[in-house]
Chains A and B, each alone.
Chain A
Amino acid sequence: MARALLCVDRLSKAYAGRTVLDAVSLSVASGEVVAVLGASGAGKTTLFRCIAGLAAIDAGSVHLDDTPLQALRGRALAAARRDIGLVFQQHNLVRRLDALDNVLAGRLGRVPAWRVILRRFAGADLSRAVAALDRVGLIEHAHQRADTLSGGQQQRVAIARVLAQESRIILADEPVASLDPVTAAATLALLRGLARERGIGVLCNLHQVDLALGHADRIVGLAGGRIVVDAQPGTFDGAARTRVFGDLPDAPIPAPVTDRSGAVLH
């Protein structure tokens, strides 16, 4: 396998004395889609916040290529973040800006400050943002204010923002939680397409096993702040499922969903 793009090594994090992440190690190669599966409260969101540098880590390291992210501060951190796209579970759009402006925000790391202050984006940045918005199927809504969009549309604008950012890795925290099943599958297919086309590494939090089986190259299971499974979808069996989610007698593993939909997002 190619050398890992993102390398998380024995990362630990505690909040108020309670261990949330316990020596978590994982890696994502470029072009690879890794799904992180775990029940609510398993520490998935905390893991993403630690990798992104939004939360300080207590021990361990996070490397993007050879750059140790946990050591960066200020401008160096901002510069490194251009390569890390984060899709938040709560979308986190700027509510009073329209959809297109929110996608343009993805370009902020590469645009000079005066252009940001005057809202005069260069043609190349604008066309990237428009293309990203088109790719998630929302070009008709470009000039609609973010807070008037539906939850699913907001989620897709957030994904378009990450597309426009052109990061080398995408961390997606429950990116399909507020989407209907068809759009959810299409969105994951889109993320996988990006990984293939651009060689982006994708690390994606999910809590639905079927989605992970259908779309990921590798599945990492998180339970109680520890990695309990690291497997290919083909080898993720009932035992692995139990290690991640505990015993749920009446919940067999659903059949993997083939990602057929390209109708909503192409």
Chain B
Amino acid sequence: MSPALDRLPQRPFASVAAGRFRFVAVLAIVTAFYALCLHYADIDLERLWTGIPRLIAWAMRAWPPDFAELDLLLARALETLAIATIGTTIGAVIAVPACVLAARNLTPNSFLRTPARWVLNALRGIDSFVFALLFVAAVGLGPFAGVLGVALHSAGTIAKLWSEAIEAIEPGPIEAVAMTGATRTKIVVFAVLPDVLPSLTSIVLYVWEVNARASTVLGLVGAGGIGQELKNSVDLLLFPRVFAILIIILVMVTAIDQLSAWLRRRLV
């Protein structure tokens, strides 16, 4: 046996004991958290059991899907796509200056950076749906309220993800370009952007894809799109029409997922 093995120092007992204690503590906390969640989530299997036949009955009445108003439904689906696209674009435009302020390596001054991060976290923390609810009250029913909601939430999300991508780049090239006497704007243009542009684009595509999915429900609060038709049809118990709408949503969202994933693969 190798003599080096004999000289390997023993792991100190204290650190082994501390490791075990930490494991038990984490286990206890996670268990308690789940118990609390199960209590508040009001899980009731019996209600599920009695509800299933009702769902099946609806599903049977939904067949065949009713595409009688296909023109209208497609127009509404397009409206949803438009809300997601314009909202994401406006969000990205807002995110350009915001991400610079939030990135540690571009804004070392925490008096500027910390408030910027708070604002972005607030925008990201409030869902498009909630923003849309407020904007419907402010600017009235319709897709414009949805666009504003998506734009605000996306601005927070994109700026946050962008600033993280920017923070992940190597400091070396930035220092090297700074040493040529370049000011901040020049450094960003010449050293930061070429490095991060592919990942920044990828992030926008991803947020667009998520928004296309999330925008299908904006109609529930009157903020336009296919969700509006969905809500009307459910309210009127027009199940074949609901079924048709679900098919359209599924096709649209899947197509956008695939397109976005394909584009993002090409970027790397």
Contacts and interface: CB of A to CB of B under 8 A. Distances in A.
Nearest to A113: B185
A215 interface: no
Contacts of A260: none
B186 A116 contact: yes
B191 interface: yes
B181 interface: yes
Contacts of A3: none
A82 interface: yes
Given A88-B172, A105-B191, A94 B183 contact: no
A93 B178 CA distance: 12
A125 B263 CA distance: 36
Contact of A94 (B178, B186, B191): B191
A92 B169 CA distance: 12
A18 interface: no
B182 A78 contact: yes
Nearest to B182: A108
B63 interface: no
Interface residues of B, number: 22
B164 interface: no
Residue from B173, B180, B187 with most neighbouring chain A CB atoms (10 Å): B180
Nearest to A86: B179
The main secondary structure of chain A at its interface with chain B is helix
B179 A52 contact: yes
A93 B190 CA distance: 11
A183 to B, nearest CB: 21
Contacts of B187: 108
Contacts of B97: none
A95 B173 contact: yes
B173 A93 contact: yes
Nearest to A146: B173
A253 interface: no
Interface in B146-192: 170, 172-173, 175-183, 185-187, 189-191
A116 B180 CA distance: 13
Interface in A98-129: 101, 105-111, 113, 116-117
Contact of A108 (B170, B175, B177): B177
B9 interface: no
Given A75-B183, A109-B181, A88 B176 contact: yes
B233 to A, nearest CB: 50
A108 B188 CA distance: 12
A105 B189 CA distance: 11
Given A105-B191, A117-B189, A93 B182 contact: no
A165 interface: yes
B179 A81 contact: yes
A93 B180 contact: no
B194 interface: yes
A165 B190 contact: no
B41 to A, nearest CB: 48
B195 interface: yes
B176 A109 contact: no
A36 B239 CA distance: 82
A258 to B, nearest CB: 32
A144 B188 CA distance: 22
Interface in A61-91: 75, 78-86, 88, 90-91
A86 B176 contact: yes
16 contacts: A78-B178, A79-B181, A81-B178, A81-B179, A82-B180, A85-B180, A86-B179, A94-B191, A95-B195, A105-B182, A108-B182, A108-B187, A108-B190, A109-B180, A109-B182, A110-B181
Which A-B residue pairs are the 5 nearest by beta carbons? Answer: A109-B181, A82-B181, A92-B172, A108-B182, A92-B176
Given A88-B175, A116-B189, 19 more contacts: A80-B181, A81-B179, A81-B180, A92-B175, A92-B176, A95-B195, A96-B194, A96-B198, A97-B190, A105-B180, A106-B180, A108-B182, A108-B186, A108-B187, A108-B190, A109-B180, A117-B189, A158-B176, A161-B180
